[in-house]
Amino acid sequence: MVTEPPPLVSVRGLSIHYGDKVALQGVDLDIKTNEIFGIIGPANAGKTSFLRALNRMDEFVPGMQVLGDITFAGRDVRTVRNLYALRKRIGVVFPLPVGLPLSIYDNVALSPRLSGITKHAQLDEIVERCLRRAALWDEVKDRLKGLGSLLSGGQQQRLTIARALSQDPELLLLDEFSIAVDPVTTMRIEEVLKELRQELTIVLVTNLVQQARRLADRTSFFLGGLCVEIAPTEALFSGGAREQSTVDYLEGRFG
């Protein structure tokens, strides 16, 4: 009998409030190692709030209160003292590319340097490896000293992914990464994500339901602050949804 390994992330009774407003309520779910876990749902469903709670980004949001249990690799996220170490293991890519006012090279090398890596040869290897993994190396290898903020929107988003990968995260959180990216670049990034699945776990929040279908191993549907259901992605999209609200959303009746 094969025993399934414990989940990388386990969430129990998660509720999130902004003052008197409830953003999420009573969420229970597990995220497996080396899977792409999709989260879909309309605006204000609680998707981004869920991501914020996973690596304690809520501490940057005034009035945001997180209740419940979140464990990552067997440890209680809420009691971790070294937040830098936690966020090093949990990378984040936001909807709009956030290019630091640094060169392309220094954007990617920043986190390794903060970790104490100073040797040029080692930094060179990390920068090239991360840019290759983000499908950006061939486009920028001859201008690594140029400002990252001068790249196109799609290139900046891939630079953001490369910067997140430079931390060697175990978990990568993607919050609607393609919202400001053209369709061709979106497809290139999707191919990168499929390859990265072999190395790390990905949580993908997307407002594009077909993107979830292309990428996610399992997909959850959030609505009105609730996790309505979770299912293997192809089953969910092929008539296996249990809830009528999920069916209505997948068929575009609201969104």
The topology under which CATH files domain 9-250 is Rossmann fold (3.40.50)
Q: What tokens does 51 get?
A: 């991501």
**CB neighbourhood size of 89 (10 A):** 17
Partners of 232 in the β-ladder: 218
Q: Would you write out the chain's pLDDT as a tens digit for each of its 255 residues? A: 557 789 999 999 999 999 999 999 999 999 999 999 999 999 999 999 999 999 999 988 999 999 999 999 999 999 998 888 898 899 999 887 766 789 999 999 999 998 899 999 999 999 999 999 898 999 999 999 999 989 988 899 899 999 999 999 999 999 998 887 788 888 988 998 998 988 999 999 999 999 999 999 999 999 999 999 999 999 999 999 999 999 999 998 887
Q: What is the model's pLDDT at position 2? A: 59
Q: What tokens does 91 get?
A: 């990378």
Cα separation, 252 vs 255, in Å, equals 7
Cα–Cα distance list, 236 to 39, 43, 144, 250, 252 (Å): 12, 20, 43, 9, 14
Domain boundaries, the chain: 9-250
Q: What is the SS3 string spanning the chain? A: CCCCCCCCEEEEEEEEEECCEEEEEEEEEEECCCCEEEEECCCCCCHHHHHHHHCCHHHHCCCEEEEEEEEECCEEHHHCCCHHHHHHHEEEECCCCCCCCCEHHHHHHHHHHHCCCCCHHHHHHHHHHHHHHCCCHHHHCCCCCCEHHHCCHHHHHHHHHHHHHCCCCCEEEEECCCCCCCHHHHHHHHHHHHHHCCCCEEEEECCCHHHHHHHCCEEEEEECCEEEEEEEHHHHHHHHCCCHHHHHHHCCCCC
Q: What is the model's pLDDT at position 1? A: 59
**What order do you get walking across the sheet with 90-93 strand by strand?**
90-93, 171-175, 201-205, 36-40, 218-223, 226-232
The answer to whether the CB of 39 falls within 8 A of the CB of 9 is no
Q: What tokens does 247 get?
A: 């069916």
